Amino acid sequence: MGLTIGHSSQAIIHGLTFPGMAISTVKLSVQHAHFLHSAEKWEYYDSICSAAIVGLKPLTLITAAHCLKEVRLTGAMSLPMLSIAQPELLGIEDISLKQAFYRPFEVVAEDLTQDVAVLVFEAKVTSLIQPLRIRLGDALPDLLMICGYGRGYGEADTRHPRCGERKPVRDLSDFYQVLPKAYREMDEMLHLQAQTQFAYTQELVHAEKALLAVNRLNEMDQYDHTIAMPTLGDSGGPWLVLNALGQYELLAITSLVERFYNPSAHWPFFQKQVPLSEYPYIAYGLRLSHPEVLGFLQYAQHSGADIQFTSAPLLPRTRQPQ
């Protein structure tokens, strides 16, 4: 039984809006095709994902591979049908996809360490946008800046990404770091459902330390629905850290967001008439420096992608862009 990602993982719920150029993040519009066996016809649909700019010579993006589930293909090279939304905001012109490196969704669904895609474009970049270098090493930072183009229920659409600062979960073997014991005592069944889903996700990661995670707990260890959190449309968006020179580096990309199965009358944070998509309790980022992921990125680099890596000293904590 594999991973069932029905949609891409909406800009960060309750995040702050920043220019995409400041954090080297773009919105992707992806075209998909699904064959309806019952009607024997194709159904076409579009989706939104986020991506990080990691190189300019040529223009190179990193996003989540599951964003390309059922993607329509075109041309002699069977390249994905996708586009960078509103590229003029980033000073990017004359864009044409030339290479795409990603694994089939059937592979990604069984192993989250494969949830990475590299897209290489021929393009003219007229702005001073700075590509993100990929942070090497397995040290866990105190804070992460997570960005993306999704949006929560009732939030206005924006032409720019939203970002939120989050502390990473220190121990992914302890579900109480995600949803504390007090919630189990209030509604044992719903807590067990969430814990089962959490455990199943761990089984889809076939390598230690491949995932980073953030919860939605405040300083009092209470679930807080006002805290910024990835949602639909944020898949492939960057998890950033600052180096000692004040430059952003790319640590991970949004891979998967888990939400509650149903609301609980015993958990006080649920609000009436608000969809469950507003209640993620954990979000996962795929660490790009993990050996399995790194090998894939180095293959793409050797095949023409512009990808740079760094292990420069970090600042003691992440701060917001100026």
Confidence grade of residue 322 (pLDDT, cut at 50, 70, 90): very low
- pLDDT greater than 50 at residue 85: yes
Tens-digit pLDDT profile for residues 88-102: 999 999 999 999 999
Tens-digit pLDDT profile for residues 222-244: 999 889 899 889 999 999 998 88
pLDDT at 12: 60
pLDDT at 47: 94
Confidence grade of residue 315 (pLDDT, cut at 50, 70, 90): low
Q: How many other C-beta atoms can be found within 10 angstroms of the C-beta atom of residue 295?
A: 9
pLDDT at 75: 94
pLDDT at 119: 98
Q: pTM for the whole thing?
A: 0.90
Choose the weakest-confidence range: 84-88, 156-160, 290-294, 301-305. 156-160
Residues 214, 229 contacting (CB under 8 angstroms): yes
- pLDDT greater than 60 at residue 130: yes
pLDDT at 24: 95
- pLDDT greater than 50 at residue 165: yes
Confidence grade of residue 129 (pLDDT, cut at 50, 70, 90): very high
- pLDDT greater than 50 at residue 281: yes
pLDDT at 9: 38
Round to whole Å and give the CA distance between 164 and 114.
25
Residues 101, 303 contacting (CB under 8 angstroms): yes
All domains in the chain, ordered by first residue: 24-131 (2.40.10), 135-287 (2.40.10.10)
* Non-local CB neighbours of 303 within 8 Å, separated by 6+ positions: 99, 101
Which comes out higher in pLDDT, residue 20 or 48?
Answer: 48
Look over the chain and give the mean of its residue pLDDT values, rounded to a whole number: 89
